[in-house]
Structure 1
Amino acid sequence: MLLVLELLLEAAGIAIHANQTLSNTATRKFGLTMMCTLTGKPTQGGFAESMVVDQKFVVKIPDGMSPEQAAPLLCAGLTVYSPLKHFGLNKSGLRGGILGLGGVGHMGVKIAKAMGHHVTVISSSDKKREEALEHLGADEYLVSSDGEGVQKAADSLDYIIDTVPVVHPLEPCLSLLKLDGKLILMGVINAPLQFLTPMVMIGRKSITGSFIGSMKETEEMLEFCKEKGLTSKIEVIKMDYINTAFERLEKNDVRYRFVVDVAGSKLSP
């Protein structure tokens, strides 16, 4: 069995057996399963040569897309695609901001550009400017601590996708939004974030959030990425490199996703 998984997250591979009652896409009912209450019951992940998966949580990888590329799209790609579609931001001509240029952020740039958006990458320093503009295709780059630059760009963005997972000020982002603009939070932060309420009230701006996406959106996203030729920047590793990979993750030393090649690893004696 070919099984490739993105470190800690999704798995992609070839089905070797399916129940005779397996439904196809046309007859399946899709729901917002990512919004359900957690039971606390552990699940068996993809760190194995094979795994059993409920058909409700399986999607077909489009022809021509490799498992190595599909796996990270199931997380980073979907996390960005879902809110853009849900909030009606998947139409061309919009101006969007991507705050944070990591695994999710770099796919945010690619997907937003593929939707026809003018994309500004917002970061805390200047060190990712070349990566954002020359390699990922962003239109502009803005350092959040640059008061003059932020002021010049005020009221210019229809939305900002905030992928930063640590406490950070929201005021610079709110000042960048147009009338009815949306700040979409995606970073998991276990501490309060603060902002001045007039910055939301004046301009009728919204602060909202989004968590991954539905199975229906997953299938749509994969087809969208195939059609647009979008891929995630990955580093494929074997299982014997897993401890080093975790150490590098802690140091933020990966651009932008590790993918574990389980099939190519020797798991059995």
Structure 2
Amino acid sequence: MSKAKGYAAHSHDTPLVPFAFQRREPLADDVVIDILYCGICHSDIHQARNEWGSSSFPMVPGHEIVGVVSQVGSAVSRFKAGDKVGIGCLVDSCRTCSECQDGLEQYCEHPVFTYNSYDSHLNTQTYGGYSNRIVVDQHFVLAISDKLDLAATAPLLCAGITTYSPLKHWQIGPGSKVGIVGLGGLGHMGVKFAHALGAEVVLFTTTPSKAQDAKRLGADAVVISKHAEDMAKHTLSFDFILNTVAAPHNLDAYTQLLKRDGTLCLVGVPDQPHPSPSAGALIFKRRQLAGSLIGGIKETQEMLDFCAEYSIVSDIEVINMQDVNNAFERVLRSDVKYRFVIDMASLA
């Protein structure tokens, strides 16, 4: 085993503090990565504070990881020392179920998440990217183009693929009218991707001051969702609405805006259930209420390649590791445009 250092939460109600732990020695298929940057996802906060009721401590969060390969195992053929790479939300899966065989490892019945999962190699929980190094099987390592800024690429490994995957699954492209609910870490990526795919993009927000920035990011129009008359103007007009908000709210306000056969897709995970949507709003226009979880490894690589081709990265604010607890509080106040990224050089 080898020594690693990072920041960890030791309980649901204490701040993250410095933490020393062990990484495994690389196996034949392993890639050792020196972590340069890691994004802060809202789910890191949910889990560090045990808001989903499934947290194990001590917890080293972080699943938006970019870095440089420092060592590879004897059977690794896809990567070499010096390569720029990324790790997202998964570091293993069963590899044999139908979901894994279809390249949809995120839906595996036995996924191994980058943190707060069982690590069979060390008989402990997995530790994430708020740390200086990580060891991962090559199947779950992603190549990053030299065209992309590394720090701004980090959030693509969760916020990026979480919004890219449903847009591709529901075949969004030219001629589609797409709504994006919320302009945060996920929402701003949804706007960028929907615009790059050629759709007409409408942002829904409760904050009028976000309108100008939404249009800078690629929105064709902005609707203030608390203004009923503005919402009504878009009734029966959307092919697809991507809802990124991670707090309980009324979904019927959006389902009634969908065309026949339109889809409202949820990607934000609140700590309490949404109010139940009206069955009639779905039934009488054959609308769909759906969900989507990150993306498989093949699709995540596709997304990174798409970003390199279209020069898409996240809008970020880089912070030192020592500022992580303050950053958590600022995320909860929506006081970031639009993703915090930790500079791991600050650990030294």
Q: Tell me if both proteins adopt one fold, taking TM over 0.5 as the criterion.
A: yes
Instruction: Tell me how far apart the structure 1 counterparts of residues 324 and 177 of structure 2 sit (CA, whole Å).
Output: 39
Give the drift of 1:245: 1.6
Q: Which amino acid aligns with 2:106?
A: M
Structure having the higher strand fraction is 2
Change (3 A) 1:47 1:175: same
Match of 1:6 among 39, 44, 51: 39
Instruction: Tell me how far apart the structure 2 counterparts of residues 45 and 186 of structure 1 sit (CA, whole Å).
Output: 21
Give the drift of 1:220: 0.4
Q: Which amino acid aligns with 1:49?
A: N
Q: Is structure 2 residue 192 aligned with structure 1 residue 110?
A: yes
Q: Which amino acid aligns with 1:217?
A: E
Equivalent position of 2:255 in the other structure:
174
Give the drift of 1:192: 4.0
Q: CA RMSD in A?
A: 1.9
Please say if residues 241 and 265 of structure 2, whose CA atoms lie closer than 8 Å, have aligned partners that are also in contact.
yes
Instruction: Tell me how far apart the structure 2 counterparts of residues 30 and 59 of structure 1 sit (CA, whole Å).
Output: 18
Q: For 2:318, what is the secondary structure of its paired residue?
A: strand
Instruction: Tell me how far apart the structure 1 counterparts of residues 200 and 192 of structure 2 sit (CA, whole Å).
Output: 11
Unaligned runs of 5+ in 2: 1-33, 41-61, 80-99, 119-124
Instruction: Tell me how far apart the structure 2 counterparts of residues 108 and 69 of structure 1 sit (CA, whole Å).
Output: 15
Aligned sequence identity (%): 41
Match of 2:70 among 4, 8, 16: 16
Q: Which amino acid aligns with 1:51?
A: I
Please say if residues 152 and 314 of structure 2, whose CA atoms lie closer than 8 Å, have aligned partners that are also in contact.
yes
Match of 1:99 among 161, 169, 181: 181
Equivalent position of 1:88 in the other structure:
171
Please say if residues 30 and 215 of structure 1, whose CA atoms lie closer than 8 Å, have aligned partners that are also in contact.
no
1:184-199 maps to which residues of 2 (within 5 A)? 184-189=265-270, 190-199=272-281
Please say if residues 148 and 313 of structure 2, whose CA atoms lie closer than 8 Å, have aligned partners that are also in contact.
no
Q: Is structure 2 residue 238 aligned with structure 1 residue 147?
A: no
Instruction: Tell me how far apart the structure 1 counterparts of residues 144 and 248 of structure 2 sit (CA, whole Å).
Output: 36
Deviation string 1:13-63 (CA, Å, 9 cap, x unpaired) is 0001111212449xx976322112357522121222222112121000012
Q: Which amino acid aligns with 1:241?
A: D
Please say if residues 35 and 129 of structure 2, whose CA atoms lie closer than 8 Å, have aligned partners that are also in contact.
no
Match of 1:74 among 157, 163, 175: 157
Instruction: Tell me how far apart the structure 1 counterparts of residues 180 and 274 of structure 2 sit (CA, whole Å).
Output: 21
Q: For 1:98, what is the secondary structure of its paired residue?
A: strand
Equivalent position of 1:65 in the other structure:
148
Equivalent position of 2:313 in the other structure:
231
Equivalent position of 1:156 in the other structure:
237
Please say if residues 100 and 123 of structure 1, whose CA atoms lie closer than 8 Å, have aligned partners that are also in contact.
yes
Q: Which amino acid aligns with 1:125?
A: T
Equivalent position of 1:245 in the other structure:
327
Q: Which amino acid aligns with 1:5?
A: C
Instruction: Tell me how far apart the structure 2 counterparts of residues 209 and 187 of structure 1 sit (CA, whole Å).
Output: 9
Q: Is structure 2 residue 179 aligned with structure 1 residue 125?
A: no
Q: Is structure 2 residue 298 aligned with structure 1 residue 216?
A: yes
Change (3 A) 1:54 1:81: same
> Which structure's relative contact order is higher, taking Cα pairs within 8 Å and 6+ residues apart?
1
Please say if residues 30 and 216 of structure 1, whose CA atoms lie closer than 8 Å, have aligned partners that are also in contact.
no
Deviation string 1:77-128 (CA, Å, 9 cap, x unpaired) is 1011111112222x22211000011000001000000000100001123231
Equivalent position of 2:104 in the other structure:
32
Give the drift of 1:65: 1.3
Instruction: Tell me how far apart the structure 2 counterparts of residues 70 and 126 of structure 1 sit (CA, whole Å).
Output: 28
Output the TM-score relative to the length of structure 2: 0.71
Q: Is structure 2 residue 346 aligned with structure 1 residue 265?
A: yes
Q: Which amino acid aligns with 1:4?
A: Y
Unaligned runs of 5+ in 1: none
Output the TM-score relative to the length of structure 1: 0.91
Please say if residues 185 and 209 of structure 1, whose CA atoms lie closer than 8 Å, have aligned partners that are also in contact.
yes
Deviation string 1:206-233 (CA, Å, 9 cap, x unpaired) is 0000011111111000111111111110
Aligned residues: 262
